[in-house]
Amino acid sequence: MQATSYLPFCLILLVVLVLFPCSRYPLTTQQYVGCSLTTPWCGSWNRKYSILETQNPKSIAHSAETTHHPLDPLSIQEINKVRAVLSSYGPFSSSFPAIHSLSLDEPEKSVVLGWKKGDPLPPRKAFVIALLNGKTQVLLVDLDSSRVTSHSTHQGSGYPTLSMDDIQVALRVPLSDPEFNKSIMARGVKLSDLACISPSSGWFGPDEEGRRIIKIQCGSIQDTANFYMRPIEGLTVTVDIDRKEVVRISDTGREIPVPKGTNTDYRYTAQDRPPEMEPINPISMEQPKGPSFRVEDGHIVKWANWEFHLKADQRTGMIISQAKVRDSETGELRSVMYKGFASEMFVPYMDPDEAWYFKSYMDAGEFGLGLTALALVPLNDCPRNSYYMDGVFVASDGKPFIQSNMICVFERYTGDVGWRHSETFLPGFNIREARPKVTLVARIAASVGNYDYIFDWEFQTDGLIRVKVGLSGMLMVKGTPLENIHQAPNQDDMSGTLVSENVIGVVHDHFITFHLDLDVDNTDNSFVKVNLVKEETLPGQSPRKSYLKAKRNVAATESDAKIKLKLYDPSEFHVINPSKRSRLGNSAGYKIVPSGTAASLLDLQDPPQLRSAFTNNQIWVTPYNRTEQWAGGLFVYQSKGEDTLAVWSDRNRPIENRDIVLWYTLGFHHIPCQEDFPIMPTVSSSFDLKPVNFFERNPVLRAAPNFEKDLPVCRPTASS
């Protein structure tokens, strides 16, 4: 959920005060947009800053940063240089375009793979997406020559990721509309208590084409910071973003009361008493000798037997590149994954009503998982001893800004067991062997409006990578006259669950599609479906009637690798290197291991499903193609679905023994319940990338156990 953005009363005051300037894009704070904390008239209502803010680690000085690796994101200097190039670029000389994306154009894979530390960096280039006069401009800027080397205008459907300026502009538009103001007041909401969100419009046919439109819906912040739970139901303003005008107002819910604010504020300072439970003593993951990982040159994470490049990204949040693991026998660093990231999301709501049908968010491409990943809260989002990494992003004016502390990296010990064995029945051998499991986690938390998505990439010493997505934050709720479900004629007719008086938590799904460019021991790999098939024995062959047999099927083309998971037709899914055999002749491989997940059940021809056709299967495999990064297309906003993974894959290209990309979609169905109100306990699921005949044997066989003598000596602090 989604994709929403909030214009609080502060912005309304903005209008009232004739655009008194708020300081924007400061280079040293984590806030992208908004009133500065020192602007006195901002947040006059009960503004209790989170006390957790005081615990933020110090920011790093980025202005002097240089780049060290071909995949390092653009530095502040590089961004400024690109901006200068664009400013003096002929076609933009009369009018500087709105920048929607300005980021590293990653060098060709072969160039990156050929580069070694100490080599000069390959030519640095910027990939720029900008809007000028309603047209999407796509440019390449060469930083060495300071020239625009390529420039085209996008012709198909879809627009770039919304900028904060787009949202600010859109949120202001309804305020000048008398009909809108009248409706707000008619519902008993003071304009100074208004807070609005900007759901994306989706795409629902020809009359929405040719211009950028967005929906505006509002709630009340009276008595709460959680206006998400106080929706003004049924009032939807469709706004033309570029013309800054109201296209249409739909006002259907005047009879629906605005839910009360009681018990909706989730901030610690707003609580009047502790929870009904015995207090929990302090517990902490302690590393008195410090964590075992290091981050070299700003982006290379080295830990135990792993090395990878980690960077923040405005669109996808976090990118893992060139993940390599050390061979347990030879000590050689071996390639596992060239690039892994959350490529797109799809979050359809299950309500066809006028104010709800369009809610079918694609958060990565529409709003940006990095742009919405604010500073993590130390000790609470991430444990002690975490390392925090900033993002250097670009605003619509082309200027860089810092998204501080948006990634944390930490070493984790959960009390889980790496491997173990006790000898039950073997006297003479008193064997009790167990090894603790310690892992390394890289995390972001994207707050896309109401919802919070926690993305974890967890690396294990046994070679496994677990990718986990946690959902928290607020439900997207619907106002209703109901205060008790007994007032409903038919509970099954509700689009969700009554989670508080006058508040329905609407049923919805979440799908997160990951781009997993595995390169197992090199680029040329194959995808093998290892199907477990029931075999019947022949008469007289065995007292057993049946058994399972593993049958290997190498996928020749893309159509062989479109996978819908089936409990009663199970398979393992391996990405192998057919040229790399173990001493026993098994191909070195990694398998993708799904865990709990969900599939999209929407009609394949439903516009949201057409646009998100990348969720039509749980697994896809495509040949590597530099431009196929975004499962929903490069230009997702209002797209019609011509540039999705499903479309690319329909070409049915060969995928055997070549550079391939694995795509996996992690899904959640969410039927809300009262426990999700007013803020949801985290729900999470994950999938694993797991070595399969990649190592000659258990790579952590020789790992040492924990000994008491090595563990820290701790005492409570004076205050605790």
User: Which residues does the annotation mark as catalytic?
Assistant: 363, 451
| Minimum separation from the CB atom of position 124 to a copy of itself (A) | 30
| Minimum separation from the CB atom of position 89 to a copy of itself (A) | 31
Q: 270 to 309, contacts with a copy of itself by CB under 8 A?
A: 271, 273-292, 302-305
Query: Out of 18, 484, 540, 626, which residue is the one contacting a copy of itself (CB under 8 A)?
Result: 484
Query: Which one of the spans 93-101, 124-132, 636-644, 675-683 is the region binding a copy of itself (CB under 8 A)?
Result: 675-683
Q: 222 to 251, contacts with a copy of itself by CB under 8 A?
A: 225
Nearer to a copy of itself, 86 or 680 (CB): 680
Query: Out of 122, 257, 436, 578, which residue is the one contacting a copy of itself (CB under 8 A)?
Result: 436
Query: Which one of the spans 26-34, 90-98, 119-127, 337-345 is the region binding a copy of itself (CB under 8 A)?
Result: 26-34
Query: Which one of the spans 61-69, 115-123, 458-466, 631-639 is the region binding a copy of itself (CB under 8 A)?
Result: 458-466
| Minimum separation from the CB atom of position 118 to a copy of itself (A) | 21
Query: Out of 178, 206, 352, 489, which residue is the one contacting a copy of itself (CB under 8 A)?
Result: 352
CB 216 within 8 A of CB 197: yes
Q: Does 19 bind a copy of itself (CB under 8 A)?
A: no
- Please give the C-alpha separations between residue 125 and each of 79, 109, 121, 609, 694, in angstroms, as whole numbers: 10, 14, 11, 35, 36
Q: Does 329 bind a copy of itself (CB under 8 A)?
A: yes
Distance of alpha carbon 348 from the chain centroid: 16
Helix axes of 9-16 and 164-172: crossing angle, nearest 10 degrees? 70
Query: Out of 145, 192, 491, 652, which residue is the one contacting a copy of itself (CB under 8 A)?
Result: 491
Report the sign of the C-alpha dihedral through residues 180, 186, 187, 188, in that order.
positive
Residue 417: exposure state from Cβ atoms within 10 A (0-12, 13-18, ≥19): exposed
Nearer to a copy of itself, 70 or 463 (CB): 463
Tokens of 667: 């899904």
**Using only C-alpha atoms, what is the Rg of the chain?**
27
Which residues contact residue 5 at a Cβ distance below 8 angstroms, ignoring those fewer than 6 apart? 167, 171, 197, 198, 367, 449
Q: Does 549 bind a copy of itself (CB under 8 A)?
A: yes
Query: Out of 43, 107, 174, 234, which residue is the one contacting a copy of itself (CB under 8 A)?
Result: 43
Q: Does 17 bind a copy of itself (CB under 8 A)?
A: no
Q: 90 to 129, contacts with a copy of itself by CB under 8 A?
A: none
| Torsion of the alpha carbons at 176, 179, 183 and 189, rounded to the nearest 10 | 20
Q: Are strands 306-313 and 317-326 parallel, antiparallel or unpaired?
A: antiparallel
- How many binding residues for a copy of itself (CB under 8 A)? 230
Q: Does 671 bind a copy of itself (CB under 8 A)?
A: yes
Q: Does 319 bind a copy of itself (CB under 8 A)?
A: no
Q: Does 628 bind a copy of itself (CB under 8 A)?
A: no
| Minimum separation from the CB atom of position 655 to a copy of itself (A) | 21
Q: 365 to 394, contacts with a copy of itself by CB under 8 A?
A: 372, 374-384
Q: What are phi and psi of 326, to 5 degrees?
A: -80, 135
Q: Does 402 bind a copy of itself (CB under 8 A)?
A: no
Tokens of 123: 């030519």
Angstrom distance (rounded) from CA 456 to CA 434 = 26
Q: Which has the closest alpha carbon to 597: 489, 483, 472, 512?
A: 512
Nearer to a copy of itself, 120 or 288 (CB): 288
Query: Out of 178, 206, 489, 716, which residue is the one contacting a copy of itself (CB under 8 A)?
Result: 716
Q: Does 357 bind a copy of itself (CB under 8 A)?
A: yes
| Minimum separation from the CB atom of position 715 to a copy of itself (A) | 5
3-state secondary structure of 168: helix
Angstrom distance (rounded) from CA 712 to CA 313 = 37
Tokens of 677: 């109100």
Query: Which one of the spans 142-150, 463-471, 622-630, 640-648 is the region binding a copy of itself (CB under 8 A)?
Result: 463-471
Amino acid 172 reads R
Q: 192 to 221, contacts with a copy of itself by CB under 8 A?
A: 195, 204-205
> To 5 degrees, how large is the angle CA 375–CA 380–CA 386?
70
In 486-607, the DSSP E strands lie at 496-500, 503-506, 508-518, 524-536, 546-554, 571-581, 587-594
CB 383 within 8 A of CB 412: yes
